[in-house]
Amino acid sequence: MAPGTILGMSAAGPQDPRFADVGRLVVRCPDRPGIVAVLSRLMADTGANIIESQQHSSDPVGGTFTLRLEFVLADLATRRVELERALAALAGEWQFTWRLVEATRKPRLAVFVSKADHVLQELLYRVGSGDLRAEVAAVVSNHPDLEPVAKAHGVPFHHVPVTPDTKDAAEARALELVGDVDLVVLARYMQIVSADFCSRFPERLINIHHSFLPAFVGANPYRAAHDRGVKLIGATAHYVTAELDAGPIIEQEVARVDHRATVEDMRRIGRYVERQVLAQAVTWHVEDRVIVEGDRTIVFA
């Protein structure tokens, strides 16, 4: 038996009956009375059974309305076209954009790492357990250290060294190796990716920063946190934009430390916060629960 199969990666596979015929619809439009009635009517007429419904209006007057529905529709794969046609027929009048997803489809992730394994291990564990319904298509690293971890889970590993001089070429090479993915996760990659790289994955590039942003932007945040004498250390998962550590925040969490904690203690404690925060953010993202609105996110948790 190959090591890659050992951790139950097929535990919640595409055939998982819990997800058959489950669909997710996210709709965004200018807020206007009647939009919920129209969409609810459409779903009811289609025969969809709503199992989860969340909505948000950035401002009831003149704001943007966002609706996320999770529903069961018998024979969804076939009837999806019909549903899309019905949505398209209404989209013009109500000026909405939409995204319709079949829950059986597992998004493909590329995970970029450096030498630290804790976040990668957690993502692979959650994928294996089925708690994170995604497929890790590739692990990319500027160091060879974590190849065995990827291999143990049956995931292709690409070692792409990066130096200041070869950064553009390295990014290009990584993109080529990774191929077509739905989401890129920077799981303690420790490299600043280029603006061009960011622009290829708009709202599809998630980073974990090891501080409670916006405190301690940049390098060595645990050292900075220690020097400032904070009583809580944190981690922040955010979409990456061209500006360093400034993209829309998806999730944050903190852990308590006291005067005894050295920088090394903070790093150790922080690792558990980081893995939790990034895994949560990625899970919400692949379940279409995160919607970017300007510099902020809506999270239908």
Q: Does 212 bind a second copy (CB under 8 A)?
A: yes
Nearest approach, Cβ of residue 156 and a second copy (Å): 16
The span from the CA of 65 to the CA of 57, in Å, is 4
The span from the CA of 298 to the CA of 301, in Å, is 9
Residue type present at position 225: A
**Token digits of residue 217:** 């932007």
Q: Which of 9, 139, 230, 273 binds a second copy (CB under 8 A)?
A: 230
Catalytic status, residue 245: yes
Q: Does 203 bind a second copy (CB under 8 A)?
A: no
Angle between helix 263-286 and 221-228 (nearest 10): 120
The span from the CA of 234 to the CA of 211, in Å, is 5
Q: Which of 10, 13, 41, 176 binds a second copy (CB under 8 A)?
A: 41
- Among residues 21, 245, 258, 265, the one annotated as catalytic is 245
Q: Which of 251, 274, 287, 288 binds a second copy (CB under 8 A)?
A: 251
From the list 6-14, 92-100, 162-170, 193-201, the region that binds a second copy by CB under 8 A is 6-14
Q: Does 215 bind a second copy (CB under 8 A)?
A: yes
Q: What torsion do the CA atoms of 125, 129, 132, 138 make, to the nearest 10 degrees?
A: 50
Q: ∠242-253-240 over CA atoms, to 5°?
A: 10
Q: Which of 1, 92, 163, 164 binds a second copy (CB under 8 A)?
A: 1
Segments in 47-185 forming alpha helices (H): 76-94, 118-129, 147-152, 167-178
Q: Per CB under 8 A, which of residues 147..176 are in contact with a second copy?
A: 148-149, 151-152
Q: Per CB under 8 A, which of residues 91..130 are in contact with a second copy?
A: 117-118, 121, 125, 129
Nearest approach, Cβ of residue 31 and a second copy (Å): 8
Q: Does 33 bind a second copy (CB under 8 A)?
A: yes
Q: Which is nearer to a second copy, 56 or 80 (CB)?
A: 56
From the list 99-107, 163-171, 178-186, 225-233, the region that binds a second copy by CB under 8 A is 225-233
The span from the CA of 102 to the CA of 120, in Å, is 26
Q: Does 17 bind a second copy (CB under 8 A)?
A: no
Nearest approach, Cβ of residue 179 and a second copy (Å): 25
The span from the CA of 71 to the CA of 76, in Å, is 10
Q: Per CB under 8 A, which of residues 72..91 are in contact with a second copy?
A: 72
The span from the CA of 242 to the CA of 193, in Å, is 8
Nearest approach, Cβ of residue 74 and a second copy (Å): 12
Contact present, 166 and 147 (Cβ < 8 Å): no
Listed in sequence order, the residues at least 6 apart from 133 whose beta carbon sits closer than 8 Å to its beta carbon are 12, 19, 103, 106, 286, 287
Q: Which of 10, 13, 30, 50 binds a second copy (CB under 8 A)?
A: 50
Active site members: 245
